[in-house]
Structure 1
């Protein structure tokens, strides 16, 4: 079964259906590229996938090792380049409140920094990731 089915819906939008769950999402071209900016752009999703993947693999490790991950959230900034138009940099500021020992925190940070999306992005995309411990 295909992972998703995506349909172009004018003007400059797509609707993607996650085939296993039936959930959907809409994308829109960004304002600086002829769109309305009414939804995540495809490059917004690529950048957002990095942070989501980091937190997911950290959560998987925590769950598998009976660790309380605590509270973790982040802000993300995507920077675009031109000629060619592409993602130039992704800046993520993770805010993390946890009572885990430093050894586990470092292991979890490393797991997050080496998540599948981080390893799949082109090496020209600068990944600027910081952890703010609360």
Structure 2
């Protein structure tokens, strides 16, 4: 079964529907590439997916080890390159609740984050700069 259906709605905008849930994501071309920048761009979603995946996999792993990461945030910075235009680096700044984790739990967290499926799916030329703040 297909995962999503995407419709080009004009004006460099798309609407993506997640077929199982019906949830919608709108994308716009970024301002620096002829767009309005009123929504995530496709490359924003690529970069953001890395943070989403990291938090999801860390959450699964934390649950399996009987601790939680509730309240953890990830701030994502996408860095573009030229010739060809592409994502060259994704900066992920993970902020965990302060003074909550043992050294063993931190090692579990960091391994889980660095081995998420999106991380493995990105081209090796895309630098993944990950910071863990506890």
Aligned partners of 1:39, 1:68: CA distance in 2, in Å? 31
Give the secondary-structure state (helix, strand or coil) at the position aligned to 2:72. strand
- Could you give the per-residue CA deviations for residues 13-34 of structure 1, whole angstroms, max 9, x where no partner exists? 1100000000001000000000
Structure 1-normalised TM-score? Answer: 0.95
Alpha-carbon offset, residue 70 of structure 1? 4.3
**Structure 1 match to 2:114:** 113
CA gap 1:12/1:107 in 2 versus in 1, 3 angstroms? same
Q: 1:61 deviation in Å? A: 1.0
1:15-54, aligned counterparts within 5 Å? Answer: 15-54=15-54
Unaligned runs of 5+ in 1: none
Q: Deviation at 1:71?
A: 2.9
Distance, in Å, in 2 between the alignment partners of 1:3 and 1:106 is: 33
Provide the aligned C-alpha RMSD in A: 1.1
**Superposition pairs for residues 54-73 of structure 1, below 5 Å?**
54-73=54-73
Give the corresponding residue for 1:125. Answer: 126
Provide the rounded CA distance (Å) in 2 between the counterparts of 1:77 and 1:106.
24
Could you tell me the TM-score, scaled by structure 2's length? 0.95
